[in-house]
Amino acid sequence: MYDIEALYEAESVGHAIALLEEHPEARIIAGGSDVLIHIRAGKQAGSVLVSIQKLDALRGVSLKEDGTIRIGALTSFSRLAQDPLILQHLGVLAEAVSLIGGPQIRNIGTIGGNTCNGVSSADSAATLMALDAVMEYQGPEGTRLVSIQSHYVGAGKTALSHGELLTAIEIPHESYRRCYGQYIKYAMRNAMDIATLGCSVNVRLTEDMQALERVRIGFGVAGPVPIRSPTAEAAVQGKPVGEETVALAGKVALADVQPRSSWRASRELRLQLVEELTKRALRCSIRHAGGLI
C-alpha cells in the first residue's frame, strides 16, 4: 500500500538533523496527512522518511518574556484551536485551523506540516502572513529565523535548506497587541475541502476607534504562494473606519495578487473573491476590534 524505502525515527532535533544529512534524499514526516497520501498515490514512491513524531519538545504553545507567542511545529490543529493562549490572543488563527479538513485530519495534522508543504491553499498560511509570523529553522549550521514571507519561495517550495527542519513558529507581540482578525475561506463545500481562495485580515484601531492604526492582509490561492497585500495595507492604514475605506481595500488588493484558473475556479472568479473577501474580512476585523461599521 505504501512504497517506502526506509523509515528512520528521530530521538531529538539534533538526531533528526543528523539523519537528514546522512540521507540527503530523505523527507520529514510528522502527522503524515500529506506525505502518506502522496506516497500512496505513487507521486513519492520509494521515499526515505525521517519521522519526528517522538519530538514532544516541538509540541505546544508558550509565551516568551518579550511577549512573543511560540508555537511548536508539531502542534496539531486540534490542540492549537483549543490552546488558552491562542484563544486569548490569536483567535483568528484558532478559527483558521479549525477549517482544515475534518476532525481526524485536525488531530494528526500539524501547523509545521501545513506551512512546510509550500502550497498556497494551506488554511493557516494566510493568517500567519497577516500576523507577521517568524519561522524558526534548525539545521547543521544552527538556528535561523525567517519571516514567513521569505519562507515561501515558490509553488510547493520553502526556504528550508538541506538538513534543516522547522522547529517553531513565532508571533511577535506587536502583531497581536490590541489586534483583531478574521479569516474567510471560500470553498465549494463547508467542510473537507481545499480553499478556492482564502483571505485573512488583522487590524488594530486607534485608541478612539475611529481609524485604522495597523492593517495586515494575507491571501491563499491568490498566487503561486501565500502572499500579503502591501499595497492595500498602505492604502488604508490611517484611514477612518467606514465603508469607503473597506471598499478601497478591496479594490487596491487586486494590484498584489496573481491568481490562476484551475478546475476549481477561473482567474476571474478568484479576482472577484479577492476584492469581496478583503472587504468582508476587513469589515469583520474592525467590528471585532470594537469599531462601528
pLDDT digits (tens, 9 = 90+) for 2-27: 788 899 999 999 999 999 999 999 98
* More confident of the two residues 264 and 274: 274
As a whole number, mean pLDDT of residues 151-158 equals 94
Beta bridge pairs of residue 197: 186
Question: pLDDT: is 39 or 269 the higher one?
Answer: 269
pLDDT in tens, 196-206: 999 999 999 99
In this predicted structure, what is the pLDDT of residue 47?
82
Pick the more confident residue, 293 or 202. Answer: 202
Average confidence score pLDDT of the chain: 94
Sequence-separated (6 or more) residues with CB below 8 Å from residue 59: 72, 74, 75, 76, 79
Residue 143: pLDDT over 80: yes
The rounded distance, in Å, linking the Cα atoms of 204 and 102 is: 32
Confidence of residue 51 (pLDDT cuts 50, 70, 90): very high
- Strand extents, DSSP E, 148-245: 152-154, 157-158, 165-171, 180-186, 197-205, 212-220, 227-228
Question: In the predicted model, is pLDDT for residue 162 greater than 70?
Answer: yes
Spell out the domains of the chain, with CATH numbers in brackets: 4-51 (3.30.43.10), 58-174 (3.30.465.10), 178-288 (3.30.390.50)
Q: What is the mean pLDDT of residues 49-63?
A: 96
| Model pLDDT, residue 33 | 78
Average pLDDT over residues 212-241: 98
**pLDDT surpasses 90 at 131:** yes
Overall pTM surpassing 0.85 (yes/no): yes
Residues pairing with 77 in the sheet:
none
**What is the distance between the alpha carbons of residues 135 and 119, in angstroms, rounded to a whole number?**
16
Q: For residue 193, what pLDDT band results from cuts at 50, 70 and 90?
A: confident
In this predicted structure, what is the pLDDT of residue 151?
Answer: 98
Residue 58 clears pLDDT 90, i.e. is over it: yes
Mean pLDDT of 220-230: 97
pLDDT digits over 101-121, tens only? 899 999 999 999 999 998 999
pLDDT in the model for residue 40: 78
Q: Residue holding cell 502591501?
A: 230
pLDDT for residue 1: 59
